[in-house]
Amino acid sequence: MSAHRVVSATALLVIVLPVAGCGLFGSEPKPEDAARTFLSAFANGDTATAANSTDEAKPAKDLLDKTRAALKPTAVSATLDQTEVSSADSTTASSGYTVKWDLGGGRNWSYQGKLELRRAEKTWRVHFSPSVIHPKLQPQQTIALREQQPQPAPILDRDGSPLLNPEKVVAVLLDRKAAGDLPKVAGALAGAVSRFDKSITQQSVTDGASKVPEGQAYPVVTLRDADYQQVKGEIYDLPGVRFSSQTRLLPPAGKEFAAQVLPTVRKAVEDQIAGTAGWRVVTLNAGGTEVETLHEQQAQPAKAVTLTMSRGVQAAAEDALEPVKNAAMLVAFQPSTGDLLAVAQNAEADKGGPLALTGNYPPGSTFKVVTAAAVLQAGTATPDTVLPCPGTWTIQGRKIPNNDEFDLGNVPLHQAFAASCNTTFAELATKLPADSLTSAAKQFGVGVDFELAGVRTLTGKVPPAEPVVERAEDGFGQGKVVTTPFGMALVAATAARGSMPTPNLLRGAETKVVGAVAPPPPGIAEQLRPMMREVVTSGTAKKLNRLGEVHGKTGTAQFGDGTHSHGWFIGFRGDVAFAVLIVDSGTSGPAVDAAGRFLGAL
C-alpha cells in the first residue's frame, strides 16, 4: 500500500484558533490547521499572521506585502482543498488550495496550487517558498500587474467620416524651480509654441508658472503630435521643461468642429468608445524584467459611435457663419428621417454656450409659417384669400407696422406671406382662439421637449394668448413667442415633410418625446410649401432663387427696447431643412446671405 493517506477532504476556508500547546480541540495538531491559518490570513490581507504561520516569517511577509501592493486587490478568497500527510514518521504534508483574486473593474484571476507543510516539535508550519503565493513563482521573483489601455474608438458621421478621431497629443509642462532662469525659458517656449496659440507669450508662461504650487508643473500647451514634432528641436532640451503624452479624440483639420455638440456627445458615450482595458499578471526577475505571464486578458477594442451628423453639411454650415461678426447660428435637419445634420455657431455665439440648441429668441416673421398653418386649419383663409396688407394696423392702441411701413393694399394670403406683411398676420391671429397658435406650434415642434442622446435641446414656448393685442403680436413672431434655432429648423423640417420628424443624433439611441401632438392635417403642408417657395422666387429672399428649388421664410425680430432686431431665415431644399439666426443684425439680410453660402457649399 502507498505510504500516503488522505487526512482531510475539500473544506471552506475558516480561521480556527487551536488551544495553546494543543491541536484542534485538544487533539494532536494537524497540518490542515496550519494551512487554514495561512490561507485565511493570506486572503484577508493579514500578512503578519500568514507569515508567522510559515517557517520563514520575514521573507514570507516581504513577498506577501509586495504581492498585495502590486496587485491591489479588491478582495481575495482562498479555499483549502485536500491535505495529504506523507512519509513514515508523518513530518511532512501537502495541502492543495484554490485562490481567487478580484482585482476590481471586472478583473478576476483564479488558480490552484500546493502548500508544503512541515512538523517540528509537534507544530505544523507552512514551508515557505514563493510557490505559496503562486505555483510558478520562483525564488528572487515578484508578481506585477500590467495594463493595456485600448485606443479609443472614433466618433463617425453618417457617412463613416471621422468627426472625432484618436490622436496622440503631447502636453508641454514647465517646472519653474528646475527652469532656473524662468523668464528666459518662458520666452523660448512662447517663441516656439505661440504659432499654435497666439495667446501664449513670455509673460503668460511666466505668470502661469509662478502661480502653480511648489513642486507642480505648469501646463503650457497641449499639442497634436504632428505639431509637437515641428517644435521639438526648439523646446526638448530647455531646462525645467518636460512632456507627457496620451491619446485623445480630436476633431479633424486641427480646429474646433461642431464645438457645441461633439464634446457633450463624447462625454455621453465615453464608456462605449473606451473599450475594455487588457491586463496581465506577470512574474518579474530581480532586475524587474518580465519572466512569465501567469494570466492574461486581452484588451477588447472599442466600437465606433456613429452620429446622424454630416461632416460635409457641418463644414458648410460653419463656413457660412465664419464671416459674420455678430453671434450667428445654423441648425440643419434631414426632414425625411429627423436626423440632425449640423449644429454650427461662430466664435461670437460660442461665448454664450450652445445657443443654437438652447438659446431662446423671438422668431419674428419666420413664425408666420406656424400662423399660416393655424389660419389654414381654422378655415379663416386659404392661400388665395384676398386680405388687406396696410402699412400699419392699430389694435387697442397698439400700432403694428410692416417693415418700413410698406403698403400692398389688398393681396392674396400667399403674396402677403411672401412679402412678410406683419399687419395681415397680426389681424389674422386676432381671429383665432387663444390657444390656436400654441397648438399649431406644437404640431411643428415648438413647445415639444426632446430627450436627445448626447445633447440638451430646447424648442421654445408659445403660451396661449388671451389678450387680443398679445395674440396679434404673436401672429408675426413677437409678443411672448420665443424659439430656438433648433426649434425653428424643426419648423422648416415639418413643413418639408408634412409632419414633425423626431430628432435623432446618436445612431441606435431612441429619442424620448414629451408634449408632442398630432401632426398638421393632411394638405396643410402642401399649401404652405408653395407659399414658402414664393418667398424665394418673388418675395423677401429672392437672393436665394439662383440656388435651386429653395423654400423659406425670412424674419426680423425686435428685442429689448425695440430699436434692435435679430435676423432669421428658415427653409429647406430637397431633404435638408435648416434655420439661420444672426443676433442683433438689424434685418434678415445677413441671415439670407449666410443661408446662401450654406446652400451654395452643399
- pLDDT (0 to 100) of residue 514: 94
Q: What are phi and psi of 189, to 5 degrees?
A: -65, -50
Asked if residues 251 and 258 have their Cβ atoms less than 8 Å apart, the reply is: yes
User: What is the DSSP track for 472-528?
Assistant: HHHHTT-TT-EE-HHHHHHHHHHHHHSSPPPPB-BTT-PPEEES--PPPPTTHHHHH
- pLDDT (0 to 100) of residue 436: 97
Give the three cell numbers for residue 434: 387663444
Whether the CA torsion 533, 484, 502, 381 is positive or negative: it is negative
- pLDDT (0 to 100) of residue 67: 97
Q: Which residue has the cell 490570513?
A: 41
Q: In 28-86, at which residue ranges do the beta strands (DSSP E only) sit?
A: 75-86
From residue 311, how far is each of 8, 63, 121, 160, 342 by CA, in Å?
69, 56, 80, 9, 8
User: What strand order describes the sheet that includes 290-297?
Assistant: 142-148, 278-284, 290-297
- pLDDT (0 to 100) of residue 330: 98
Give the three cell numbers for residue 114: 500546493
Consecutive 10-residue runs of the chain (602 residues): their mean pLDDT? 36 36 56 94 96 96 97 96 78 94 94 94 93 96 92 92 91 94 95 93 95 92 94 95 90 77 91 86 95 93 92 96 97 98 96 97 98 97 98 95 95 98 97 97 97 95 96 96 98 98 95 93 96 98 97 95 93 98 97 98 94
Q: What are phi and psi of 413, to 5 degrees?
A: -55, -40
Residue of 157, 160, 91 lying closest to 120 (CA atoms): 91
Three-state secondary-structure class, residue 591: helix
Q: What is the pTM of this model?
A: 0.78
Asked if residues 66 and 142 have their Cβ atoms less than 8 Å apart, the reply is: yes
Buried b (16+ CB within 10 A) or exposed e, 164-197: bbbbebbbbbbbbeebeebeebbbbbbebbbebe
- The separation between CA 89 and the C-alpha centre of its own chain, rounded to angstroms, equals 70
From residue 166, how far is each of 207, 274, 505 by CA, in Å?
32, 11, 21
User: What is the DSSP track for 456-471?
Assistant: ----EE-----SHHHH
Pairing label, strands 449-451, 398-401: unpaired
- pLDDT (0 to 100) of residue 254: 55
Asked if residues 148 and 277 have their Cβ atoms less than 8 Å apart, the reply is: yes
From residue 142, how far is each of 108, 134, 298, 570 by CA, in Å?
19, 10, 22, 69
Q: Which residue has the cell 517646472?
A: 175
- pLDDT (0 to 100) of residue 88: 62
Residue of 488, 465, 495 lying closest to 376 (CA atoms): 495
From residue 508, how far is each of 276, 314, 337, 479, 505 by CA, in Å?
20, 21, 13, 39, 9
CA atoms of 126 and 54, how far apart (whole Å): 4
CA atoms of 245 and 168, how far apart (whole Å): 7
Question: Cα-atom radius of gyration of the chain, to the nearest Å?
Answer: 37
- The separation between CA 205 and the C-alpha centre of its own chain, rounded to angstroms, equals 31
